[in-house]
Structure 1
Amino acid sequence: MVFVSEVYTAVPAACDTPLQEKVYQVLQELEIDFQRVETEEVITMEDCQQINERLDMDMVKTLFLCNRQKTNFYLFVTSGDKPFKSKEFSQALEIARVSFASAERMDSMLGTKIGAATIFSTLLKEAGKVQLVLDKDVCDQEYYGCSDGTTTGYLKLKTEDVLKKFLPYVKRQPKIIEV
């Protein structure tokens, strides 16, 4: 059983990472309402079940992928309960097969560690070379649940705010695919 705090609607008193601090600054700047919880370290989608229940929504699964040459990188956001199939993803983008990028690349390009990949990494200059790919199913959900850039903080936002306020703010046009 994973510890999940009560639900908060204000920024944390202190942030653990530069990315987490930037996330909350931008949410405030864009006037995006959110609910959040604090947890002990959560890494897997199975661990997210209690977060889903507390926030009354389903967390997305955010995967950091790369090609074999490690020259092209993808941040793929899909439904938490959907298994990842590299072949389907690659076919949808008409690219060669992909695999998971290393923890070192995740840290240097996304500013996160394994278990904390988030769409909010697009706030970082280092993520500029990462192609953002969204599963259409995620875009169709009312709520968007994700990490705040840590493995101990999770957010619930309106998907519409992510798509129509946040992504234009970071000047990112995601590729939307059906898998």
Structure 2
Amino acid sequence: MDLYEKVADKLGELAIPFEIVEHAPALTTEEADRFIEGIEGVRTKTMFLTNKKKTAYYLLIMDDQKRLDMDQFKELVQANRIKMASSDSLMEKMMLPPGVVSVFGLLNNEDHDINVYFDQEILSEDRMSFHPNVNTKTIFLKTEDVLKFVESIGFKYHKVSLDS
């Protein structure tokens, strides 16, 4: 089963409707945005982060137009230092290559050892968009269904208020 099928099957199992847009490979949110212009839904940026000692991992979902202040996030999660996790850590924890990180990668995290954070600002949006574990598709679904998905696979999520 490919990575996208796993996502689609899980959403089907949970009776979560979604819209899918197929497109050429997109490695950045800017590239993906060109393929989905005019479709309603906040464009998300999902960042896979870790602390200095790689003893804690964080998945942060935010508006793709925002820049992350690592120092602010470090304070919010009470860590000594926060940095982007390596591609090796991404493969180990979520079985994903760089460029396709999304909330759906949690399906591959059998240890359930990733802390999930949503920027409060995007939670008021009706719909969100993500790569569904591949960079040749963009998936749109209701925000409430994204949260339902996260909880249904055994993760808790936290809300944080990030500066613009």
TM-score by length of 2: 0.91
Q: Pick the aligned partner of 2:145 from 122, 138, 161.
A: 161
* SS at structure 1 position matched to 2:53: coil
Q: Partner of 2:63 in structure 1?
A: 79
Q: What are the equivalent positions in structure 2 for 1:118-129 lying under 5 Å apart? A: 118-126=102-110, 128-129=112-113
Following TM superposition, by how much is the alpha carbon of 1:58 offset from its aligned partner in structure 2, in angstroms?
Answer: 2.8
Question: C-alpha separation between the residues in 2 aligned to 1:28 and 1:107?
Answer: 25
- 2:5 equivalent to 1:44: no
Contact in 2 for aligned 1:139/1:159 (Cα 8 Å): yes
RMSD in angstroms over aligned alpha carbons? Answer: 1.5
Question: C-alpha separation between the residues in 2 aligned to 1:35 and 1:116?
Answer: 18
Contact in 2 for aligned 1:20/1:148 (Cα 8 Å): yes
Deviating 4+ runs (over 6 angstroms) = none
Question: C-alpha separation between the residues in 2 aligned to 1:167 and 1:112?
Answer: 17
Question: C-alpha separation between the residues in 2 aligned to 1:132 and 1:42?
Answer: 24
- 2:129 equivalent to 1:145: yes
Aligned residues: 162
Structure number with greater CO (CA < 8 Å, separation at least 6) is: 2
Contact in 1 for aligned 2:29/2:64 (Cα 8 Å): yes
Can you list the C-alpha shifts for 1:48-90, whole angstroms capped at 9, x where unaligned? Answer: 2223415332320000001111111111111110001101111
* Aligned-residue identity in percent: 27
Which consecutive unaligned segments of at least 5 residues does structure 2 have?
A: none
* SS at structure 2 position matched to 1:37: strand
* SS at structure 2 position matched to 1:106: helix
Which consecutive unaligned segments of at least 5 residues does structure 1 have?
A: 1-14
Following TM superposition, by how much is the alpha carbon of 1:121 offset from its aligned partner in structure 2, in angstroms?
Answer: 1.6
Which one is further off, 120-129 or 57-66?
A: 120-129
- 2:29 equivalent to 1:30: no
- 2:114 equivalent to 1:99: no
Q: Pick the aligned partner of 1:172 from 152, 155, 159.
A: 155
Contact in 2 for aligned 1:144/1:156 (Cα 8 Å): yes
Contact in 2 for aligned 1:77/1:133 (Cα 8 Å): yes
Question: C-alpha separation between the residues in 2 aligned to 1:98 and 1:36?
Answer: 33
Contact in 2 for aligned 1:37/1:154 (Cα 8 Å): yes
Letter in 2 for 1:175: H
* SS at structure 1 position matched to 2:31: coil
Letter in 1 for 2:74: S
Letter in 1 for 2:49: L
Which one is further off, 76-85 or 117-126?
A: 117-126
Question: C-alpha separation between the residues in 2 aligned to 1:72 and 1:113?
Answer: 19
Would you tell me which structure has more strand in proportion to its own residues? 2
